[in-house]
């Protein structure tokens, strides 16, 4: 937990840029400003200042500086921002200068966010939303992440937790009034009724077809088909760039290659795969095994064949697959409803993209309710639901045990926002951030 050091890092992207933002957070943050500029501006006001090395007083740069007092900062500590010119030399000189300030050190990845969490500025679900916001590539990902950062999911899970705390109160009352039979009985029945409503709500939230997770991670499409069916060429045509190896030699694509597309704001990941056939070599067999694994995990399998067959391999759901005819330019009989695509001429590509997009939008849905976004949340919600069901299904005479069920459920929900002990997951969550966040 909290250490007394002051941390600094480059918070803007690496590499040459017009402006680079260097943030400093901690008890010595204000001291760094005092020692490096002549007169610090008022808190929360930006001002242009000449920045000097704290010991040699050599000029480093002229920059906009601003600072925030702990109570109004993002980390809950004093924070200073230097908006210097974005060259490697200026950044290096700034780091050398900050190193001279007592108690200052370079930040670890995610350390600013971690301090915000430890100082109660953000809960854990919000921190995860922030990580997603930084990683967001499409409009719908941005929308979901910004809502989560603002606390949409936290509010939902915390409201469920507070209802569980009320239920726990009723169960405690039943224990306290166990000699007054009817008081105890009515408290238990009230608790059971509330728990039943809550368990339905949680179950419905869990049973959402993974829409939030699909949105966060991308709708996965696997291109599958025999060698030479035209999968790699189609992937290239979709990506409008040479992302995969195209070759007339059968069995060239042994590794799985992906391109990420933005289809109407939805992230879609298309994977090229090795051709499916009786494999000639061990390496190729491994490629085929991987292809089938990718296809089974995919949200949609596009099966390509030159002859318009639909011999989609066993174990792949028909519901989530789409058979198309490839190389449509090599004019062959069209059998009506088939989607005919040519990577060479571009024929049918827009229709295929439209169909993928339609399926992705269906999978994600248009609900305005906040969606479950992470496996970590899902696991805790499942644990909570299981304990609520144990409460509902358990022997009511054993009230102490039922109270324990409710406590376990509320503990599981508390772990999502980090209200209860979560030490074990913190390193994992924060280390995924970049330095400077």
Ligand X SMILES: Nc1nc2c(ncn2[C@@H]2O[C@H](COP(=O)(O)OP(=O)(O)O)[C@@H](O)[C@H]2O)c(=O)[nH]1
For ligand X, the closer of residues 230 and 287 by Cβ is 230
Query: Looking at 343, 356, 399, 429, which residue binds ligand X (CB under 6 A)?
Result: 343
CA distance 299 to 220: 5
Q: Is residue 327 within the footprint of ligand X (CB under 6 A)?
A: yes
80 phi/psi in degrees, rounded to 5:
-120, 140
DSSP assignment of 79-135, as one string? EEEEEEEE-HHHHHHHHHHHHTSTTEEEPPTTHHHHHHHHTTSS-HHHHHHHHHHHH
Helix (H, G, I), strand (E, B) or coil at 47: strand
Picked from ligand X, Mg ion, none, the partner binding residue 230 (CB below 5 to 8 A depending on kind) is ligand X
For ligand X, the closer of residues 225 and 418 by Cβ is 225
Interacting span for Mg ion (CB under 5 A) from 7-15, 223-231, 339-347, 415-423: 223-231
Question: Of 11, 246, 8, 38, nearest to 104 (Cα)?
Answer: 8
Sheet of strand 79-86, all strands in order from the earlier edge strand to the far edge:
47-52, 59-68, 79-86, 17-25, 6-10, 104-106
Q: What percent of the residues of the chain are helix, what percent strand, and what percent coil, each to the nearest 5? A: 45, 15, 35
Tokens 């939008």 belong to 361
Nearest distance from residue 298's CB to ligand X, in Å?
16
Picked from ligand X, Mg ion, none, the partner binding residue 343 (CB below 5 to 8 A depending on kind) is ligand X
**Binding positions for ligand X, 225-264, rule CB under 6 A:** 225, 227-233, 246-248, 253
Nearest distance from residue 158's CB to Mg ion, in Å?
49
Q: Is residue 360 within the footprint of ligand X (CB under 6 A)?
A: no
Picked from ligand X, Mg ion, none, the partner binding residue 233 (CB below 5 to 8 A depending on kind) is ligand X
**Binding positions for ligand X, 41-70, rule CB under 6 A:** none
Per-residue CA distances from 5 to 2, 265, 389 (Å): 9, 41, 46
CA distance 300 to 214: 12
What track of x and - describes contact with ligand X for positions 132 through 171 (by CB under 6 A)?
----------------------------------------
Picked from Mg ion, ligand X, none, the partner binding residue 307 (CB below 5 to 8 A depending on kind) is none
Residues that bind Mg ion (CB under 5 A): 231-232, 253
Residues that bind ligand X (CB under 6 A): 225, 227-233, 246-248, 253, 275, 326-327, 329-330, 342-344
């Amino acid at each position: 937990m909290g250490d007394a050091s002051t941390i600094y890092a480059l918070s803007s992207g690496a590499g040459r840029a017009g402006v680079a933002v260097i943030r400093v957070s901690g008890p010595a943050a204000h001291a760094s400003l005092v020692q490096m500029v002549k007169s610090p501006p008022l808190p929360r006001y930006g001002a242009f200042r000449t920045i000097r090395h704290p010991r040699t007083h050599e000029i480093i740069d002229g920059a906009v500086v601003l600072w925030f007092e702990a109570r109004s900062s993002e980390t809950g500590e004093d924070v200073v921002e230097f908006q210097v010119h974005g060259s490697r030399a200026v950044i290096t000189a700034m780091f050398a200068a900050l190193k001279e300030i007592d108690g200052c050190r370079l930040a670890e990845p995610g350390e600013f966010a971690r301090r915000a969490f430890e100082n109660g500025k953000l809960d854990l679900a919000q921190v995860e939303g922030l990580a997603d916001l930084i990683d967001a590539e499409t409009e719908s990902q941005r929308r979901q992440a910004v809502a989560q950062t603002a606390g949409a999911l936290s509010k939902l899970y915390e409201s469920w937790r507070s209802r569980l705390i009320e239920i726990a109160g009723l169960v405690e009352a039943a224990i306290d009034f166990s000699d007054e039979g009817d008081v105890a009985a009515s408290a238990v029945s009230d608790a059971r009724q509330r728990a039943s409503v809550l368990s339905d709500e949680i179950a419905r939230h869990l049973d959402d077809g993974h829409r939030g997770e699909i949105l966060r991670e991308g709708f996965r499409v696997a291109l599958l088909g025999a060698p030479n069916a035209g999968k790699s060429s189609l992937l290239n045509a979709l990506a409008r760039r040479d992302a995969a190896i195209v070759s007339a030699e059968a069995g060239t694509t042994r590794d799985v290659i992906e391109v990420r597309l933005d289809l109407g704001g939805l992230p879609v990941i298309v994977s090229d795969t090795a051709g499916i056939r009786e494999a000639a070599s061990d390496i190729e067999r491994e490629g085929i095994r991987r292809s089938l694994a990718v296809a089974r995990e995919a949200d949609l399998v596009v099966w390509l064949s030159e002859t318009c067959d639909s011999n989609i391999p066993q174990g792949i759901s028909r519901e989530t697959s789409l058979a198309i005819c490839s190389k449509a330019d090599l004019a062959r009989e069209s059998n009506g409803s088939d989607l005919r695509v040519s990577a060479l001429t571009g024929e049918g590509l827009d229709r295929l993209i439209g169909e993928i997009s339609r399926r992705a939008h269906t999978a994600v849905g248009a609900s305005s309710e906040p969606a479950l976004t992470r496996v970590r949340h899902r696991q805790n919600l499942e644990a909570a639901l299981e304990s609520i069901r144990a409460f509902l299904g358990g022997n009511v005479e054993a009230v102490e045990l039922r109270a324990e069920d409710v406590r376990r459920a509320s503990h599981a929900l508390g772990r999502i926002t980090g209200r209860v002990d979560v030490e074990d997951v913190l390193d994992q969550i924060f280390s995924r951030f970049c330095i400077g966040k």
